Amino acid sequence: MIRRLDHVAVAVAETDAALRYFRDRLGLKVVAVDEPPEVPVRLTYLDLGNTWLQLVEPLHPDHALAAWLEVNGEGLHHICFGVDDVRCELERIGPADTTVPPLASGRGRPAGFPAGDPPHGVRIECTSFNKKEDVDGVPGWLEAPRETRGP
């Protein structure tokens, strides 16, 4: 069952360059950086209040994301939903009679993409939903920086 939007992923060639905009210009706070051992990518999570913006940078020129960037350039790569059971959800939303690809991780949680072509041109990822961290542990909005707050 889909529980929430977990993150919106933006493919970037260089995380540091992207952070100059998303962190430094927009003021979004970096909350986690992950380099999962099973895939050569850097995942940088920025707080959007009730979800995350994930910057995804390939760390190896032979990785599929590097080829994707060559063709498509930087930009929206996928949206990710928090779900109760990743494998079950990937089987449910993927094409019939396909095997679920091996799961990866981000923020230490199982995650994966369904097999087949993206529906309506939107790549979908599923990751484990954790109510304590994903709902109870987040404010649901971004607090204004101290210098811009009113009286």
Read off the pLDDT of residues 56-102 as tens digits, 9 standing for 90 and up. 999 999 999 999 999 999 999 999 999 999 999 999 998 877 777 77
Whole-model pTM: value is: 0.89
For residue 142, give the 3-state DSSP assignment: coil
Residue 151 is assigned to a structural domain of this protein: no
H/E run at residue 129: none
Residue 147 is assigned to a structural domain of this protein: no
Residue 134 is assigned to a structural domain of this protein: yes
Residue 56 is assigned to a structural domain of this protein: yes
- Rounded to 5°, the CA angle 148-149-151 comes to 130
| Domain of 133, in residue numbers | 2-141
Residue 65 is assigned to a structural domain of this protein: yes
Return the CATH number at 83. Answer: 3.10.180.10
Q: How many domains does the chain have?
A: 1
Instruction: Express each pLDDT in 6-44 by its tens digit.
Output: 999 999 999 999 999 999 999 999 999 999 888 899 999
Residue 150 is assigned to a structural domain of this protein: no
Identify each DSSP E strand in 1-151 by its residue range.
2-11, 30-34, 41-47, 52-58, 75-83, 104-106, 109-112, 124-128
Residue 149 is assigned to a structural domain of this protein: no
pLDDT band at 148 (very low <50, low <70, confident <90, very high): low
